[in-house]
Amino acid sequence: MLRKMHVRRLVLLGAMMFTAGSRLSAQEVVDRIAARVESDVILLSEVRELSRYQKLVDGQSESDDQILDRLVDQWIVRTEAATARFPRPSAAEIDRNVERLKKSFGSDTEFEVRRRETGLTDAEVRELVESQLYLNNYLNSRFRPMVQVDPQEIEKFYQDGVVARAKARGQEPPTLEAAREAIQEALLQRGINTQADQWIRETRSRLHVDKLLASTPEGAK
């Protein structure tokens, strides 16, 4: 359960591209600007690529407007991280997370079938995973020191989540001590997400964002 939560978090926070402005010269003529953020731009190709990645991981994608919102949020985090000269993830870390993504599927074959259906190459998947790591590592580094986990929260999570879920499945739950470390990490990640979401909302309220792409209903792409 905790591993799947981590994978989904990556999807919600990550899947960013390289800085859009630096890629303009490499885009095909059919590409166009989907949004302007300050003096930078988000391209339609970026929206499409994130849509394909969401389909790979979740089996479906959000609307273009929702994806644009995610890309603007990612722009905020990426710009802050770049200003702080935050280090890129190592090749070994990228490898581990690519494998973690693959293991979230039933088998390697299932992953490959879904990847081909979305039209993403192995190189594109790896690039997206790397970008996710960069974003998430920065948010973790910035906000983890601000999050404190109360022991009572761990107990509540254990009883309401771990024990209740195990009983519903007719399984014997792990002991609290066996589950404590994983529960504490899950609660830390929840706190990091809350802090990061608030910071992104406050930062975004001060930005000039101009959306130029009409919203496309989910599943219409």
> Whole-number mean pLDDT of the chain?
87
80 close to 38: Cβ distance less than 8 angstroms: no
Residue 51 confidence (pLDDT) above 90: yes
Q: What are phi and psi of 36, to 5 degrees?
A: -110, 135
H or E element that contains 189 = helix 176-204
Tokens 């702080």 found at: 84
Q: Facing residues of 209 across strands?
A: 37
pLDDT number for residue 26: 44
pLDDT number for residue 31: 87
How large is the average pLDDT for residues 61-73? 96
41 close to 20: Cβ distance less than 8 angstroms: yes
For the chain, give the percent of residues with pLDDT over 70.
Answer: 83
Which SS3 state, helix, strand or coil, does residue 210 take?
strand
Please name which of 121, 31, 29, 139 lies closest in space to residue 78, comparing C-alpha atoms: 139
- How far apart CA 65 and CA 195 sit, in angstroms, is 24
pLDDT tens-digit readout, 108-154: 999 999 999 999 999 999 999 999 999 999 999 999 999 999 999 99
Please name which of 214, 211, 213 lies closest in space to residue 37, comparing C-alpha atoms: 211
Q: Dihedral sign for Cα 88, 100, 19, 205, please.
A: negative
Q: Which domains does the chain have, with CATH numbers?
A: 1-146 (1.10.4030.10), 147-208 (no CATH)
Which SS3 state, helix, strand or coil, does residue 43 take?
strand
pLDDT tens-digit readout, 183-214: 999 999 999 999 999 999 999 999 999 999 86
pLDDT number for residue 213: 80
How large is the average pLDDT for residues 25-51? 85
Which SS3 state, helix, strand or coil, does residue 150 take?
coil
Residue 178 confidence (pLDDT) above 80: yes
pLDDT number for residue 4: 44
